């Protein structure tokens, strides 16, 4: 079994972004909005700010209280949409219950939608005309590419059908000529389907959900899920110590798909800058 090292590949991607920004002498800007005080969200936001600093991307943070009204948040997004010095807008999810995630996503200018959640960008993804990429699924693809694993003609089983990972993951795999099966909570015979896979992408968020008897010999396993165990340690969907005996390639948690998400976010911010300045087609 070989490790798909997300930390190393993420560093390579961010370094390439940094070098392009320095070479072109430009100053892309990413605005991050955090509503409330969720500890995990705070960690994610801090990691994004560190990545921006590394890449030479200017970062703005807008921290709003837990009781923020939806209209106040939407007004901030409107201001950032109008600000020509801001190239990317990201509202850290989840948001408090009084705010509609759909309304927030819909309000962000598609050209500044560096998460690739807006309906226009989702449509571009499924029609193969995308410019901005869904961060976690695109990070998975970048990992495969780095290690020379070509999805073309392979059977990819995606476990999970979320708008953030499962659905866009299927779209990117289809674009690369994989045969894709999307499984979810209503799927029957999940184990049998997984045993037919060349590539398994698990995005369930249940610790050790993917057991060794679900993984065929020689499969590539990309573990997108992350959970915190009672002792405080982080764990992925895959039962790592046992799955590694079956898989040819496996991502660790942490240090696998997670770092790739932020690396693609940096790429998207640079792409958004180019879209808005006319450097790439609008």
Place of tokens 């660790």: 252
Residue 235 phi/psi, 5° resolution? -145, 145
Q: Which residue has the tokens 């898989």?
A: 247
Q: Is 237 an annotated catalytic residue?
A: no
Q: Can you tell me whether residue 82 is helix, strand or coil?
A: helix
Distance between CA atoms of residues 181 and 17, nearest Å: 33
Q: Cα separations (Å) of 245 from 7, 90, 147, 220, 248?
A: 22, 39, 19, 12, 8
The catalytic position among 48, 133, 167, 244 is 48
48 is catalytic: yes
User: Among 111, 112, 113, 115, which one carries the catalytic annotation?
Assistant: 115
Catalytic, out of 14, 92, 111, 112? 92
The candidate with the shortest Cα–Cα distance to 14, out of 59, 41, 50, is 50
Q: Are 1 and 240 in contact (CB under 8 A)?
A: no
Measured CA to CA, the distance from residue 46 to residue 23 in angstroms comes to: 26
- By annotation, the residues acting in catalysis are 48, 92, 115
């Amino acid at each position: 079994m070989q490790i798909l090292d997300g930390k190393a590949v993420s560093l390579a991607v961010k370094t390439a972004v940094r070098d392009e920004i320095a070479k072109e002498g430009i100053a892309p800007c990413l605005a991050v909005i955090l509503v409330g005080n969720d500890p995990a969200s705070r960690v994610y936001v801090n990691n994004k700010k560190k990545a921006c600093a590394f890449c030479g991307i200017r970062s703005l943070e807008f921290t709003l209280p837990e009781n923020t009204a939806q209209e106040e948040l939407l007004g901030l997004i409107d201001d950032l949409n109008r600000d020509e010095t801001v190239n990317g807008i990201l509202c850290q999810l989840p948001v408090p219950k009084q705010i509609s995630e759909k309304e927030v996503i819909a309000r962000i200018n598609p050209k500044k939608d560096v998460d690739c959640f807006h309906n226009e960008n989702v449509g571009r993804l499924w029609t193969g005309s995308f410019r901005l990429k869904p961060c976690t699924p695109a990070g998975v693809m970048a990992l495969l590419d780095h290690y020379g694993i070509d999805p073309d003609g392979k059977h990819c089983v995606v476990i999970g059908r979320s708008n953030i990972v499962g659905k866009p993951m299927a779209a990117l795999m289809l674009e690369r000529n994989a045969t894709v099966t999307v499984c979810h909570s209503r799927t029957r015979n999940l184990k049998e389907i997984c045993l037919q896979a060349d590539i398994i992408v698990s995005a369930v968020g249940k610790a050790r959900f993917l057991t060794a008897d679900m993984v065929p010999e020689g499969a590539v396993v990309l573990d997108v899920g992350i959970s915190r165990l009672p002792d405080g340690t982080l764990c992925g969907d895959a039962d790592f110590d046992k799955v590694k005996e079956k898989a040819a390639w496996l991502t660790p948690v942490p240090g696998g798909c997670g770092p790739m998400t932020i690396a693609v976010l940096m790429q998207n911010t640079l792409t958004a800058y180019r879209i808005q300045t006319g450097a790439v087609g609008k």
